[in-house]
Amino acid sequence: MAIFASRYERKLPLDDTEAISCEIATVEQVDGHTEYLLRVQRGDSSWNVLRRYNEFSNLHKCLRISGIELPLPGKRIFGNMRPDFIAERKEALQVYINTILMNPILASSLPAKRFVDPESYSQSFHDHAVQNALLCLRNDTVWALGATMGAIGWRLRKHYFKVTTKPPEKGSNKLVKSGSQNQQSKHFAAGSNGGGHSVSIDAGTVDPNAEMVAEWLEYGPDKYVDEKEMHGVLKSLMGLYHPHIESVVFAANTENGCLIIRKFHKHGTLKDVLCMATPKNPFLSKYGNPKGRTALSMKQVATYGKQILEALIFLHSKGYACGHLHSGNIVIVDDCVKLLDIENHLLGVPAFYRPFFVQHSKIHTIETIDVYCFGHVLFEMAMGYPLQESVVRQITECPEALKSLLESILSKEACKAGLPTLDQLIDHRFFTQYATESAATSEKPHFKLSLNAKELLRQAAVKSETRLRDEQKSVKNQKRIVRVQELMSSEEEKRKSKQKAKLEHKQSKLKQQGSLQTSNGRLSLAAVTAASSSTVAVGGGLSTADSFNRSDSTPEEPTLAGLKSLMPASQSPHQEMPASTSVAVERQTSTPNIASEDVDAGEDEPTRSALLESICKFNRGSLRKVRSND
């Protein structure tokens, strides 16, 4: 009954290409050591991770194989608990983790992912891949799983194994095999418990001297085709032939992922050729900091680029998209391009350049994605190094035709206005001028998909495009929020700087006024002291002269006469006090008044000397006695 029919429900896998930001929020001291609280954010999700310095050091050891210089602060044994040292180390570790997450190669590595997101990447991906690969091959009579080849690719959930052909079984099964079965070039096998479905080419059609590789890949977040329906599409991929697409030898899928067997090329991919790397070396050591780089000639760039466009146009004409074009998915065999991993679109895994085109809302269809990725491949072939940004700033040292072609795809204006189509690209004058015609093949390209498969692929493409648009909106909103926060922080900093400048100006003004008042007080005190000392000197001179010159006289009479004669002189200090006060007031406005007052004081000095001299020469005996009529 339909009520008991099982519905297809799946948990959305994690997108490993989504950008991650990390900020060291706080520092804590626990049991005699320092722990750093990392606040990590990926999209709308955020979490906290506690890390010690030793864990930073272990991460550095794992990433050392890349050959990239990373600014890890040195270890310190003594004085490592001081607050100033902890603050300095926190800033240095923030720079270190930012350097890792801003590098696409380092950020996609498993050690870096486990460091910032241990909950999502703590499981053993290799053991999981071995179990599923054995499950896919357990009922197959042709292929046997061999040793692992290590992390030679950039995907965390993709694993490479050596495979060998099984020896023929001894028994009567071979003798009773029907003739119709011998004529079949393909056979199908299903797991006994419904665990998987496989499709493979008979080993007799494979070059026995060719080295084969098995690739296990988990499903991605854009996988919208059911496992049972996927089996039919994989069967169609087995029958695909195109001179510029590498054929698939074996394909099997389970509820967790897919196993593909294809030919391994000893010279490696196009990226290995450009980086002059050994194909079987780890991904970090090959592409982290290549010892050498080489660019292709304009003839090679045009020829290979045209062949890539021919393969892409063929796939799109059949209702199938590549979506995963990059230099690591291209091999060159006898001056002929062959595309790899065309099954990635069916498995729904994220593209290599997704962090770039997710920033541009105009790149949201399967064709524009292939066009954008083709522009990056073309740039890398021509320049010898990959473009590290989503758009190209300036293109130099290349022909004008190639420059116009790259600008029509990778310029900022093109990404805003819209990209050209695949048919428009292949008619560009760059390919007409430099490309050479490929050798004609006797076999015609063919790729047969059923109407049901085409409809499933169309619906899957619509859903993946919808998810891409939603992510582009989220990225745009995050950029807007960051921009607003930057503006707010800049305005706050400006306001604080203005307040600080006003406060400093006010303090300096108050300090200047205080210093002036202090100096004015000292000058006024000096003037008053000088005036009082002059008065004391006059009084002292008078008493001294009287004591020496009139020792036989009574003190009352000369004192009375002296007071009458000295009345103006005794009043002079009291009359000069307002003048000195006015002088002190004038000194607050300008200092030259001090010199003028000193000159006035110098003019009064002879008058005082004459007065003192007349007092000293006074003689009472020379006075006449006068009789009064009173």
pLDDT in tens, 498-555: 778 878 877 877 777 776 666 665 555 555 455 555 544 444 444 444 444 444 444 4
**Which CATH superfamily is 123-166+186-264 part of?**
Phosphorylase Kinase; domain 1 (3.30.200.20)
CA distances from 36 to 27, 90, 94 (A): 5, 8, 10
Domain ranges of the chain: 21-116, 123-166+186-264, 522-622
| Number of Cα atoms under 13 Å in the Cβ half of residue 447 | 26
Between residues 577 and 52, the one the model is more confident about: 52
Residues belonging to the chain: 630
Q: Are 364 and 467 in contact (CB under 8 A)?
A: no
pLDDT at 373: 95
Handedness of CA 342, 348, 351, 354 (dihedral sign): positive
Angle of the 400-410 helix axis to the 366-383 helix axis, nearest 10: 140
Cβ-contact 446, 240 below 8 angstroms: yes
pLDDT in the model for residue 525: 52
Measured distance CA(381)–CA(418) in Å, rounded: 23
- What is the C-alpha to C-alpha distance for residues 594 and 519, in angstroms, rounded to an integer? 13
Is pLDDT at 488 greater than 70 in this prediction? yes
pLDDT for residue 174 = 42
β partners of residue 50:
37
pLDDT tens digits, 117-163: 999 898 889 999 999 999 999 888 888 999 999 989 999 999 999 99
In this prediction, residue 206 carries a pLDDT of: 64
Report the pLDDT averaged over residues 487-491: 71
Closest by CA position to 146, among listed 202, 214, 248: 214
Of 43-52, 187-196, 309-318, the least confident:
187-196
Dihedral class, residue 186 (left if φ above 0, else alpha if ψ from -120 to 50, else beta): beta
Taking the C-alpha atoms of residue 10 and residue 233, their distance in angstroms, rounded to an integer, is 19
Average pLDDT rounded to a whole number, residues 167-175 = 53
Residues 6+ apart with CB under 8 A from 615: 541, 542, 545, 562, 565, 566
CATH level 3 topology of 21-116: PX Domain (3.30.1520)
Q: For residue 397, give the 3-state DSSP assignment.
A: coil
Measured CA distances, 346 to 321, 351, 354, 461, 544 (Å): 9, 12, 16, 9, 125
Measure CA 143 to chain center: 45
**What pLDDT score was predicted for residue 554?**
42
Pairing, β 250-254 against β 257-263:
antiparallel
pLDDT exceeds cutoff 80 at 612: no
Amino acid (1-letter code) at residue 216: W
Nearest to 450 by CA among 234, 268, 297, 261: 234
CA distance 352 to 387: 13
In the chain, pLDDT over 70 holds for what percent of residues?
A: 73
pLDDT value for 502: 79
pLDDT greater at residue 610 or residue 537: 610
pLDDT at 313: 95
3-state helix, strand, coil in the chain (%, to 5): 50, 15, 35
Question: Is residue 298's pLDDT more than 90?
Answer: yes
Please report how the helices 556-565 and 567-587 are oriented relative to each other, as an axis angle in degrees rounded to 10.
50
Residue 253: closest CA among 137, 169, 159, 160: 137
Residue pair 358/475 in contact by the 8 Å Cβ criterion: yes
What type of residue is 291?
A: K
Tokens of 391: 């758009």
Average pLDDT, the chain: 79
299 CB contacts (<8 Å, ≥6 apart)?
434, 435, 436
Can you tell me which residue has the tokens 């900093």?
Answer: 493
Instruction: Determine contact, residues 562/615, Cβ cutoff 8 Å.
Output: yes
For the stretch 317-356, pLDDT in tens is: 999 989 999 999 999 998 899 999 999 999 999 999 999 9
pLDDT over 50 at 263, yes or no = yes
The pLDDT, as a whole number, for residue 513 is 74
pTM more than 0.85? no
